[in-house]
Amino acid sequence: MKSIKQENVEREIIKPYNFQLVLDEPALCLIEIIASAKSWWQNIKSRRAFFKDDDIFLFLDNQELTTSTNAKQDARSAWNGNELKGLEKTVLIAANLSSGKHTIDLKPDQSPYLKSITISQAEKKDNGKINYIPIANNPAKKSPGRPWLSYIILDLLVASLSISARAPRSEKDDDDIKLIINGQIQKNEKKIRHADWYWCGQALKGEDKTFLLTNINSHAKQYNLDLYSDGSPYLYTIGLGYQRIPTVDNPEWTGDFRDDTDEILLARLILGETSDEPREAKVWVAWSVINRTMAGSWWPKSIKEVILQKNQYDPIKPTSPVYKKIINPLNYDGVGVADKKSWYECYEIAQGVISGKINSPTKATHFFGVGVTREWFEKNIVPNGKFLKKIGNTYFYWSPN
């Protein structure tokens, strides 16, 4: 990872703080933000506020980010003063960012303290791994159990995770670290005491310990981990093995269509089937896939499984003349401005259909275009079907199978 931008803010923020980043090309970035927030009692003693703690709410490109599953607004803050009691917390975000302008918005409640924002970019030599080695806010400032670090991973296929840390034991007390992954506490396997603290100073007796998960293959839109510190433990490194998930701005195929999100895979299909057809035909193709998932017939119940079902859609086959187009829509041989525009339209339609923003105009389950005769199709593919509509050069049908 190479550092590409840093701001040492070092001040209280009472108004929304906006950090901007401009990328010349798509990149996997690691964002590190360090800030602190005071409790309501600290604010009362300093006469800053009456029964109000400091909070900071975090947004990346207008998307609110939190590792909390609590619906209450205060609990969803990335920095919560009643939990931190004036101490620092680090928040990391790993995300594939498209070329162009991006914004990080920090929206404060009362007067929290923003220390720094650092952006790093993945390089080829990283070989599919993000290694984070903390410098600031390490070791944790001595305190009872409280949030120390949150890591939010967006739209990456998480393959492996390793965390190396030390939790010393002193004469009076021991240091501990709690690890929570996607809301699940990782238990201390020795279970002598502090079972919820994976790094337990009493059990470790000063020795280092590494948490390791392999073959995770998590394809969630957001993967979260949280570290809580008790005492003053030390974090050596967090290693994240990942595989890129194609995005609308960087849709190059990984070699496995199952790495695609539903939106990307559906957009590939729409592009392959109707790239030169009217928008209406594209919408009908998208909804024909959705209709299959809801048919209660022999088709699978998920978008991905319907599209990848054997011998159903020609563009998915390596022998298809449009195969090279759909696996790399923005960078295949001969791609032009109109082709790129068509890709973005296909993605917008796929996203709209899946989200429900584009209402269903049809009950179609089948279609065919150039290269197939209507007589052959009706006899061999939809013998029990019903013709619905021709849009451009594409014929649409409903069929029970």
pLDDT of residue 26: 82
* Averaged pLDDT for residues 224-236: 96
Could you tell me the strand order of the sheet in which 129-132 lies?
Answer: 129-132, 234-244, 156-166, 208-213
In this model, does residue 74 exceed pLDDT 90? no
| Residues whose CB falls within 8 Å of the CB of residue 346, separated by 6 or more in sequence, listed in order | 267, 268, 270, 271, 275, 282
Instruction: Read off φ and ψ for residue 203, nearest 5 degrees.
Output: -75, -35
Contact between 165 and 220 under an 8 Å Cβ cutoff? The reply is no
Pair of tokens at residue 287: 């909804």
Q: Across the chain, what does the average pLDDT equal?
A: 92
CA distances from 374 to 74, 138, 285, 390 (A): 60, 69, 17, 11
47 vs 366, residue with greater confidence: 366
* 70-84, 91-105, 248-262, 355-369, range with the lowest pLDDT: 70-84
pLDDT of residue 72: 64
- CA angle, 12 as apex, 9 and 18 as ends, to 5°? 55
pLDDT of residue 170: 67
pLDDT of residue 192: 62
> Which amino acid is located at 247 in the chain?
T
* Averaged pLDDT for residues 73-102: 90
Residue written as token pair 């970035």: 29
In this model, does residue 190 exceed pLDDT 80? no
Confidence of residue 204 (pLDDT cuts 50, 70, 90): confident
In this model, does residue 22 exceed pLDDT 80? yes
How many Å apart are CA 368 and CA 390, to the nearest integer?
10
* Averaged pLDDT for residues 332-349: 95
pLDDT of residue 376: 96
pLDDT of residue 302: 94
pLDDT of residue 297: 87
* 125-134, 240-249, 358-367, range with the lowest pLDDT: 240-249
In this model, does residue 75 exceed pLDDT 80? no
In this model, does residue 81 exceed pLDDT 90? yes
Element (H, E) at 286: helix 279-293
What letters, b where the CB count within 10 A reaches 16 and e where it falls short, cover 246-272? Answer: bbbbbbebeeebebbbbbbbbbbbbbb
* 3-17, 236-250, 366-380, range with the lowest pLDDT: 236-250
pLDDT of residue 401: 82
* Averaged pLDDT for residues 352-375: 95
Q: pLDDT tens across 37-65, in order? A: 999 999 887 777 677 899 999 999 999 99
Q: pLDDT tens across 270-311, in order? A: 999 999 999 999 999 999 999 999 998 889 999 999 999 998
* Averaged pLDDT for residues 368-397: 95
